[in-house]
Chains A and B, each alone.
Chain A
Amino acid sequence: MAALATTALEMDEEERLVAEAQRGNLDAMRPILERYAGPLYSTVILPRLGDAGSAEEVLRDTLATAVEKIRRFTWQGKSIYPWLRQIAINKIFDLYRQTKRSRRMLSALSYEVDTESDARDAADAQLMAVQERAHHRARIDETLAKVPARYRAAIELRLIQELPRDECARRLEVAVATFDVLLFRAVRSFRKLFGEREGTADAASAERASQRQEKD
């Protein structure tokens, strides 16, 4: 993960850059965007969308909105990261509304994380990003524990360790075509279990998120 603003020195620098951008020198935003674009993409946007192309578009729109509205940002002695994160979350909601696709699992993930951890209360960007990633991982691990061991192994080897197919097949002592079937079933199984888990909280959390969006 890219280094986030953690030390007092970095916070001072960030405050100075924000003030400069608010005076009209938008180029001062560049170091801030370079610092936070990676964490926003990998811990906030992509885990909620699951689609790299859409995630890149949301990231670009998030950064553009931040540049456009930097004058409205009020420095409160903590990093600008929570503000950027909130913009990203709003953009993700906008995307869900526009596409209106049936994504029960992913939309549930999006709503619940947002309601459980209020970014505006977090004091430290680094801690927030780490917590968010840990939160995603815990939720996924919880579902993975319910997946049959053979399927779990296929997911671990192929999607988490990112080993080549033939190496995964070798480790599971099966042919490559058989491993393909194992992984295919494993992802389907995970999707079903995760969707069921998240689906119970889906309606309520979606309603809460919608209300907060209207309030914002």
Chain B
Amino acid sequence: MALPRPPRGSTRSDFLEDDVPDVAADPSDSERLHAISFGDLIDKAIAGRTPPALSSDERALLEVATVLRAAAGEVELEGVRQDQLIEEALDAPSRAAADERRGPSSVLDVPELGARRRRALPWLITGATSAMAAAAMAALWLRVPHERLVAAPTPTPARWSSRPADEVVGEIRRDASGDAAARLDSIYADRLEGYREVTLFQRGGPR
């Protein structure tokens, strides 16, 4: 019979405290759903796969079923699990000693507080941070504007920049028009000087 599963963690039902129906009484749909769900749960418990999350009613009935099984001697601890628990128990003193050696210096250690202080702590933190935020806003609001302290960038000298060569070459007379090599030499020398200045300046040397 295909019935929908009852929702997990659904609202608490009355089946735990209500009277148990007669053996011959027809079950309601709700009872059928709970019964199938409980049957599945017993399957899992017998297989050692009890789900960690159960409703309180399911847990109560499962505990009764486990008590019945335990009394019959049907529930034993698995060997592997037993070995794990024994190892954990034998390691407990050394773990405790290590914790003691580490002391309260760990960043994770939180000092013990009394109940009143523990209750007040969130309010204290909230109050302190709110006050700090308000003070910061007030400081920004009331601050007198002043001149920027950052100096304006120094303009780059013209001789370091790309520029026309008119200043170097000057007016070209008609009789010197064929002496282009000399003019090129002058321009080259001017540019080379600028290059040296930039290079020496960047290395921190004299300008």
Interface residues of A (CB under 8 A from B): 1, 26-27, 29-30, 33-34, 37-38, 41-42, 46-47, 49-53, 56, 59-60, 63-64, 66-68, 103, 105-106, 109, 133, 136-137, 139-140, 148, 150-151, 155, 158-160, 162, 165, 175-177, 179-185, 187-192, 194
Contact = CB atoms under 8 A, between A and B. Distances in A.
A184 B23 contact: no
B20 interface: yes
A180 B39 contact: yes
A59 B66 contact: no
B42 A67 contact: no
B82 A38 contact: yes
Nearest to A59: B85
Contact of A175 (B1, B3, B34, B68): B1
B75 A42 contact: yes
A67 B64 contact: no
B42 A137 contact: no
Contacts of B198: none
A58 to B, nearest CB: 10
A139 B31 CA distance: 28
B74 A192 contact: no
A26 B73 CA distance: 31
B50 A165 contact: no
B77 A59 contact: yes
Contact of B73 (A1, A67, A139, A187): A1
Given A46-B67, A53-B50, A180-B32, 7 more contacts: A42-B77, A159-B69, A181-B35, A182-B23, A183-B38, A185-B20, A188-B61
